[in-house]
Amino acid sequence: MIRLFFDWSEVWALFIPLFVWVFHKKQPSFLNSVVVYLWLALALNLFGDIIGDFRTPFHFPLYLQSNNPVYNIHSVVRFVCFSCFFLSIQRHQFKKLKNIIIGTFILFLIIDFVFFEHFFLPDHLSGNLFSAEAYLLLIFCMLYYLTVLNAEEETAFKSPDFWVVTGLSIYVVVNFFVFLFYVPMITQNPDLANNIWDIHNVSYIILCLFITRGFYVISEKYAVVGN
């Protein structure tokens, strides 16, 4: 039961920020894309875990025998939603560089899945996709912190965006090498790969907790929706 509970952490962890959001819907507009991500992630993770745990006993059709394509879709969704989040905060800071990051991700998708991988490959998730996503989101996070440091904002921790970016930073830093070496580990040592994925689950819980803290933050600067 403990193992099952932890394996489904990608689902139940999302209910924590969503539960808080239901009672604190008056959030600044730049968090809209984060809320959209939470709902889409809940749907994708729930669908993926149902496939992973119930495909055999319920005799799912052949095209639902693997949840790896769902994870690949989730990776793209996460990058798109958080890119929109970063574009909506500090709008005039590093604008060209942010557009280059997004363009790089799009170019990567085209090159990788046209010449090297199959997006809907059932054998394993795309380690290249997850690694590229984590790396580019980390650059977004670093640009955010650089802007905060340059502005010498001593009250940055009172802003919801700070908590969201911090949670995302922890997630991508912890998981970059997990994503990078996950596919080789599946081939050489599947048990080790499954254990390593527990690191991802823990960091995902942390991400959800930090987003939750962001929803709780009360700041005069963001007291009015749309500021």
| Percent of all residues in the chain with a pLDDT value above 90, rounded to a whole number | 61
CA distance 214 to 31: 9
Specify the pLDDT at position 107. Answer: 97
Task: Give the SS3 label for residue 173.
Answer: helix
- Among 5-9, 61-65, 177-181, the minimum mean pLDDT is found in 61-65
Tens digits of residue pLDDT in 27-49: 899 999 999 999 999 999 999 99
> Architecture of domain 2-222 in CATH?
Up-down Bundle (1.20)
Specify the pLDDT at position 57. Answer: 74
Contacts of 59 (CB under 8 A, 6+ apart): none
Instruction: With cut-offs at 50, 70 and 90, classify the pLDDT of residue 25.
Output: confident
Cα dihedral value 153, 154, 155, 159, nearest 10: 40
More reliable by pLDDT, 227 or 32: 32
Helices (DSSP H) in 24-153: which residue ranges? 32-54, 68-88, 95-111, 127-151
CA distance 213 to 227: 19
Q: Is the pLDDT of residue 112 over 70?
A: yes
CA distance 2 to 65: 24
Q: Average pLDDT of 132-138?
A: 98
* The amino acid at 170: I
CA distance 126 to 200: 15
Specify the pLDDT at position 124. Answer: 81
Q: Is the pTM of this model over 0.75?
A: yes
Select the highest-mean-pLDDT range: 17-26, 98-107, 143-152: 98-107
